[in-house]
Amino acid sequence: MKTYDAIVIGAGPGGYPCAIRLAQLKQKVLCIEKENVGGVCLNWGCIPSKALISAAHLYEKSQAGAAMGIKVSGVELDANKMQDWKEGIVKKLTGGVGSLLKGNGADVVNGTATVVGPKRVDVTRADGSVEQFEATKAIVIATGSTTIEIPTFKFDGDTIIGAKEAVSLRRVPKRLMVIGGGVIGLELGMVYQAFGAELIVVEALPELLTGVDPDCTKIVERKILKRGGTIHKNAKALGYEKQKDGSVGVKIQADGKEQTIVVDTVLVAVGMRPSSKGLGLEKVGVTVDQRGFVPTDKFCRTNVPSIYAIGDVSGPPLLAHKATKEGEIAAEVIAGHKAEKDWVAIPGAIFTDPEIATVGLTEAEAKAKGLEVSIGKFPFSVLGKAMAMNETEGFVKIVADKKTKQVLGVHIVGPEASTMISEASLSLEMAAFLEDLSLTIHPHPTLGESLMEAAAHAMGAAIHIANR
Amino acid sequence: FNEKPLATPATRKLARDLGVDLRRVPPTGPAGRVTKDDVRALEAPE
């Protein structure tokens, strides 16, 4: 039986950094992966979706140049070529992860892991052979999550699809229905809408992007409608019937009324489910909660001291950067360092058009905590750089404690929101006050100035808008 | 006497407002930072 200091199950954005960090800290480490290294994020999540989104953005911009005096005609999308380009990026990145693991001295084995003891893992390879491994210190569960399937909309890989297929389509559906108005549904739905698909969003709850500042969501909704899309809220997709021409008639219930909408493709994006089943966790006494998440303490430890859990499988938010941070923390704890989860906030970036990015408390969350807040808001419509880019939708909104002026949350909808949120995250981690943001000189003309101005606006001292 | 004490812009502003020389303030904040309370504690009682 091969022995390691630590065994990491899963090579996604949680598992592979964990294995690399363990190796950096001179631990003998094995990383087990049953599919491709890089996990969901690299293979069919974050990276592929962002590649398609950037292509969609270019496609749209290329046709919107008339206002700037740029005349373009006959812009065409070759979906096949776009997919080949995307595949190339994925290949390059996953190859890079493999090299990083190897370069740091981490061993990688391809197969399905079963936890058979607090420090024992069996790996079943593709040919059915089983190899046994032992960890002297710890096992890290980094098995991620999988797409939730609705019984009435079983995936067929072609007409009824999940995110995995949606980032690999080699055609643009004429009519696309997205079941689930969350991050994945809106990001991918808007990609195909930009390429000319008619988009229909069906959301069971009263709001799209539940939990996100509704002012931000409104801007994105407006864009979907402006492009000819339809949004059904408080609506349920009941089932579908195949039509003769290959399309599907989807029966939905909205406002108590039933109606049938004919579409070509249905993207089911109602969420992700933690991959905690079939690992043998319950057998070795690891607690798994009702939703399938594996609860952990601030050291990423489960209730079994030698078993750690990180990333999607250990609970929300289901974000790659959260998984990576937990991977690093778990590795350091296992190697005997004083590490723990101690972040102020985890930023979220939503790559809709325009982008939404958010960190810390929303106005509603702060008020629910009984805090008195000051709100600062700065619209991109009056920002020189945004005008120069011809992308003036959206705003920056800052939520601060009215008494102390400490920044509690930042919510951005608009161009490059995902980039700008990093500064806001740093502000929260540094326990910045509104003045810290407004007194920091931001270069002009840049989108980042909007953060400085929003902070000033919260204090009644913005220069480029009225301070009301 | 530190050349440049670690303090956020807001703390530096408070020190200016209260007439406190930041370099004379014993820091109690994280990573040797001077906090607003550190500045207030040194405020000359006049």
A interface mutation test: which of B8, B11, B17, B40 has the most A CBs within 10 A? B8
Interatomic CA distance for residues A165 and A72, integer angstroms:
31
- Reported as a pLDDT band with limits 50, 70 and 90, residue B2 is very low
Interatomic CA distance for residues A374 and A92, integer angstroms:
46
Write down the residue that tokens 């408070």 correspond to: B14
- Reported as a pLDDT band with limits 50, 70 and 90, residue B32 is confident
Beta carbons of B10 and A440 less than 8 Å apart: no
Beta carbons of B9 and A440 less than 8 Å apart: yes
Residues of chain B contacting A436 with CB distance shorter than 8 Å: 8-10
Element (H, E) at A105: none
Q: Among all residues of chain A, which has the CA nearest to that of B31?
A: A430
φ and ψ at A389, to 5 degrees? -85, -10
Interatomic CA distance for residues A89 and A78, integer angstroms:
17
Q: Which amino acid is at A224?
A: I
Q: pLDDT of A29-54, one tens digit each?
A: 999 999 999 999 999 999 999 999 99
A:B CB pairs within 8 Å: 18
- Structure tokens that stand for A179 in this block: 């079941």
Interatomic CA distance for residues A120 and A134, integer angstroms:
5
Q: pLDDT of A178-190, one tens digit each?
A: 999 999 999 999 9
Q: pLDDT of A298-348, one tens digit each?
A: 999 999 999 999 999 999 999 999 999 999 999 999 999 989 999 999 999
3-state secondary structure of A192: helix
Mean pLDDT of A447-463: 97
Residues of chain B contacting A433 with CB distance shorter than 8 Å: 8, 10
Residues of chain A contacting B8 with CB distance shorter than 8 Å: 430-433, 436
Closest approach of B45 to chain A, Cα-based (Å): 23
A183-194 and A46-63 helices cross at what angle (nearest 10)?
A: 40
Interatomic CA distance for residues A361 and A356, integer angstroms:
15
Mean pLDDT of A402-421: 96
Beta carbons of B13 and A405 less than 8 Å apart: no
Output the pLDDT for position B44: 58
- Reported as a pLDDT band with limits 50, 70 and 90, residue B9 is confident
* Residues above pLDDT 70, as percent of chain B: 87
Mean pLDDT of A438-449: 98
Beta-ladder partners of A409: A360, A399
Nearest alpha carbon to residue A213 among A45, A341, A396, A402: A396
Of A57, A444, A457, A464, the catalytic one is A444
Q: What is the pTM of this model?
A: 0.94
* Chain centroid offset of residue A293 CA: 18
Interatomic CA distance for residues A7 and A296, integer angstroms:
17
Q: Among all residues of chain A, which has the CA nearest to that of B30?
A: A430
Nearest alpha carbon to residue A412 among A439, A384, A465, A449: A449
- Reported as a pLDDT band with limits 50, 70 and 90, residue B43 is confident
Residues of chain A contacting B10 with CB distance shorter than 8 Å: 405, 432-436, 439
Nearest alpha carbon to residue A241 among A147, A158, A159, A171: A159
Give every CB contact of residue A321 below 8 A, 6+ residues apart in sequence. Answer: A13, A346, A347
Mean pLDDT of A118-128: 97
Strand arrangement, sheet containing A265-268: A160-161, A265-268, A175-179, A198-202, A230-232
Tell me whether residue A444 is one of the annotated catalytic residues.
yes
Interface of A with B (CB under 8 A): 405, 430-436, 439-440
Mean pLDDT of A56-60: 96
Output the pLDDT for position A468: 79
Say if residue A161's pLDDT is above 80. yes
- Structure tokens that stand for A66 in this block: 């008339």
Interface of B with A (CB under 8 A): 8-10, 13
